[in-house]
Structure 1
Amino acid sequence: MRAVVMESRGGPEVLKVTEVPDPVPGPKEVRIRVKAVALNHLDIWVRKGVASPRLALPHVLGADVAGVVESVGPGVTGVSPGEEVVVNPGLSCGRCEKCLSGQDNLCPRYEILGEHRWGGYAELLVVPEVNVLPKPKNLSFEEAAAFPLTFLTAWQMVVDKLQVKPGEDVLVMAAGSGVSVAAIQIAKLFGARVIATAGSEEKLRRAKELGADETVNYTHPDWYKEVRALTGGKGADAVVDHTGALYWEGVVKATANGGRIAIAGASSGYEGTMPFAHVFFRQISIYGSTMGSKGRMFGIIRFLEAGRLRPVVGQVLPLEAAQEAHRLLEERRVFGKVVLQV
Structure 2
Amino acid sequence: MKALLHYGAIGTNGLRLEEVEDKHPGPGEVKVRIKAAGLNHRDLFVLARRTGSEPPFIPGSDGAGLVEAVGSGADHVRIGDEVIINPTLGWHAASEVPEVPDILGSPTDGTFAQSTIVPAVNVEPKPAYLTWEEAGVLPLAALTAYRALFTRGQVQQGEHVLLPGIGSGVATYALAMAKAAGAEVTVTSRDAGKRRKALELGADAAIDSHGDWDEALEGRKVDLIMESIGPATFPQYFKVLRPGGRIVSLGATSGDTVEIPLRPFLFPQFSFLGTSMGSTEEFKKMLQFVDKHRIRPVVDATFPLAEAVRAFQRMEEGRQFGKIGLIPEEEG
Where on the TM-score scale, by shorter chain, does this alignment land: which range?
A: over 0.9
Aligned to 1:3: 3
* Structure-to-structure mapping, 1:20-59, within 5 angstroms: 20-49=20-49, 56-59=54-57
Q: CA RMSD in A?
A: 2.0
* Structure-to-structure mapping, 1:191-202, within 5 angstroms: 191-202=182-193
Preserved CA contact (<8 Å) 2:8 2:51? no
* Structure-to-structure mapping, 1:283-302, within 5 angstroms: 283-302=269-288
Gapped regions of structure 1 (runs ≥ 5): none
Aligned to 1:333: 319
Aligned to 2:127: 136
Distance in 1 of aligned mates of 2:94 and 2:260: 32
Aligned to 2:309: 323
Preserved CA contact (<8 Å) 2:180 2:293? no
Change in 2 beyond 3 A, CA 1:296/1:55: farther
Q: CA deviation at 1:219?
A: 2.7
Q: CA deviation at 1:53?
A: 7.3
Distance in 2 of aligned mates of 1:165 and 1:113: 31
Q: Does 1:245 align with 2:231?
A: yes
Q: 1:314-340 CA deviation, whole Å, 9 max, x = no partner?
A: 100000111111111111111100000
Aligned to 1:309: 295
* Structure-to-structure mapping, 1:150-299, within 5 angstroms: 150-220=141-211, 222=212, 224-226=213-215, 228-229=217-218, 233-299=219-285
Distance in 1 of aligned mates of 2:262 and 2:273: 15
| Structure 1 counterpart of 2:86, one-letter code | N
| Structure 2 counterpart of 1:137, one-letter code | A
Distance in 2 of aligned mates of 1:263 and 1:13: 31
Distance in 2 of aligned mates of 1:18 and 1:284: 51
Q: CA deviation at 1:107?
A: 3.4
Distance in 2 of aligned mates of 1:9 and 1:246: 29
Change in 2 beyond 3 A, CA 1:253/1:114: farther
Preserved CA contact (<8 Å) 1:68 1:83? yes
| Structure 2 counterpart of 1:187, one-letter code | A
Distance in 1 of aligned mates of 2:183 and 2:103: 30
Q: Does 1:77 align with 2:69?
A: no
Q: How many residues align?
A: 328
| Structure 2 counterpart of 1:201, one-letter code | A
Q: CA deviation at 1:263?
A: 0.8
Aligned to 2:64: 66
Runs (4+) of structure 1 exceeding 6 A deviation are 52-55
Secondary structure of the corresponding residue to residue 232 of structure 2: helix
Q: CA deviation at 1:146?
A: 1.6
| Structure 2 counterpart of 1:76, one-letter code | A
Distance in 1 of aligned mates of 2:298 and 2:185: 18
Q: CA deviation at 1:257?
A: 1.8
Distance in 2 of aligned mates of 1:307 and 1:78: 26
* Structure-to-structure mapping, 1:95-106, within 5 angstroms: 99=92, 101-103=93-95, 106=97
How high is the TM-score relative to the length of structure 1? 0.90
Preserved CA contact (<8 Å) 1:32 1:126? yes
| Structure 2 counterpart of 1:327, one-letter code | Q
Distance in 2 of aligned mates of 1:294 and 1:60: 23
Secondary structure of the corresponding residue to residue 24 of structure 2: coil
Distance in 2 of aligned mates of 1:236 and 1:57: 47
Distance in 2 of aligned mates of 1:48 and 1:156: 26
Distance in 2 of aligned mates of 1:257 and 1:122: 48
Q: CA deviation at 1:54?
A: 10
Preserved CA contact (<8 Å) 2:214 2:220? no
| Structure 2 counterpart of 1:190, one-letter code | A
How high is the TM-score relative to the length of structure 2? 0.93
Secondary structure of the corresponding residue to residue 210 of structure 2: coil
Preserved CA contact (<8 Å) 1:249 1:275? no
Identity fraction in percent: 38
| Structure 1 counterpart of 2:283, one-letter code | M
Preserved CA contact (<8 Å) 1:252 1:279? yes
Distance in 1 of aligned mates of 2:26 and 2:216: 52
Preserved CA contact (<8 Å) 1:227 1:236? no
| Structure 2 counterpart of 1:86, one-letter code | I
Distance in 1 of aligned mates of 2:309 and 2:74: 36
Q: CA deviation at 1:300?
A: 2.6
Distance in 1 of aligned mates of 2:170 and 2:276: 11
